[in-house]
Amino acid sequence: MSKTPIVMKPLFSWEELSQNFQLTRQSLYKKLREVEKEVREIIERVMEEGDGALRYYTRKFDGCDIRKWLIEERELQNSWKKMDKSFQETIADIEKRVRSFHQRQKPLSRWEEHSPSLWGERWQPLRSVACYIPGGRFPYPSSLLMTAIPAQIAGVKEIIVLTPPDAQGKVKSEILATAFFLGVKKVYRVGGAQAIAGACFGTSSLPAVDKIVGPGNIYVTAAKKILQGIVGIDTLAGPSEVVIVADETSSPHWLALDLLAQAEHDPLSLSILLSPEEEILLETKRYLERELQNQPLSFSREIPIYLYQVESKEKAWEMVNFLAPEHLEIITKEPEKDCLRIKNAGALFLGPQAPVALGDYGYGPNHVLPTSRGATFSSPLSVRDFGKFSSFIFPQDSQTLSWEQFSQLAEIEGLYYHRRSLLARGGKEWPLS
């Protein structure tokens, strides 16, 4: 049997938990710094050479020579037709759930009277969006559903998909089939930092977009970090994380499975169980060890799973609000009541029938979530991320406005023509000293 890749600490201090969490964040920062120089070179080469750079880096990283980036619509359609009925029904059912949830998020423009004037905000969808869908050994149709559907509901006219090809230049059929079902007609076989740069600046084959969304590897994240502000991005995703708060009503077997499910994502993923019940922790530990002896997948590195006995649920809520986890499972007697204590979490999963995996695969809410304490200041991906507001003012009776009052601030700030512009509306149009 291979070395157990799980580090378990049934009892340890608050200080140690905080330290471990901070080390994880620091590790992500260091990894970003390590690849940032290479990613900047990729971005600059894509800017200068366009398709030539895309071709070079696709050969280098994906091992294939691509001449035609856009996949024909006929191939999308054929991929859907080749899918078995079970897959088609699954995608259709999840699409309904996800669309139903996000339909309720669409913002509204508002006009308000502020006598004798009008003011307000006008919401408009973005023109174009790129959905980045990771490649690798397995396809991720769930990521396409979670990014394309809210964009469609927002009213985005041009939605493209960026996804890396395999060594044969192929894209997973499941991705192509899902794109066809959603009505997304432009899928490009390109990935990595070069895809992000291409979608930002545009090439002969790849259109420039207003915003890029979707998860990716460290190179994708670094590219999004560098280009943020030049193109819109959703979030800088770090390693995935789950915190579970459980009491005596929870199932240790299910807790172990949920912790391991999180550990599958990434060697830097965080899986934390908080409970005041020592027996729950010890029994969960036994199930974890049992699962690892028989698990079909091989964890290649040590993946920390922390089991922490808290003094009380109150202490657990304090820790959760500090950690601001991407995913939070509350498996207690009264989860609907306990969740009201939470200030910082990306997504909450309430009760024993709500594992994180249920949210990952399309129960309704979006699974693109803030990580690395991002839940202290940001939200899950939503329809609102695919549009923008413009504010407006419409004064209808200039005589009632205090032009001199506004101009006073212009004078204080030393802006001569700002002041004149204001005073002219108030009937005082003359040069000012």
Separation of alpha carbons 146 and 127, rounded Å: 19
Annotated catalytic residue, options 326, 334, 336, 429:
326
Instruction: For helices 173-182 and 85-103, give the axis angle rounded to 10 degrees.
Output: 50
Maximal C-alpha separation, the chain: 89
**Amino acid at position 362, single letter:** G
Nearest of 303, 294, 245 to residue 273 by alpha carbon:
245
Provide long-range contacts, Cβ within 8 A and 24+ apart, for 254-257. Answer: 254/331, 254/352, 254/355, 255/280, 255/284, 255/287, 255/331, 256/284, 256/287, 256/288, 256/291, 257/287, 257/291, 257/355
Q: Are 223 and 193 in contact (CB under 8 A)?
A: yes
Q: Are 369 and 147 in contact (CB under 8 A)?
A: no
Question: Is residue 327 among the annotated active site residues?
Answer: yes
Any residues with CB less than 8 A from the CB of 333 and at least 6 apart, and which? 247, 249
Annotated catalytic residue, options 102, 174, 241, 327:
327
Any residues with CB less than 8 A from the CB of 201 and at least 6 apart, and which? 46, 47, 208
Question: Is residue 311 among the annotated active site residues?
Answer: no
Nearest of 405, 366, 359 to residue 382 by alpha carbon:
366
Query: H helices of 50-166, where?
Result: 51-62, 73-82, 85-103, 141-154
What is the SS3 assignment for 366?
coil
Q: Are 162 and 188 in contact (CB under 8 A)?
A: yes
How far lies 249's CA from each of 246, 256, 310, 332, 421, in Å?
8, 15, 16, 6, 68
Q: In what order do the strands lie in the sheet with 117-125?
A: 110-114, 117-125, 387-395
Q: Show which residues are catalytic.
A: 326-327
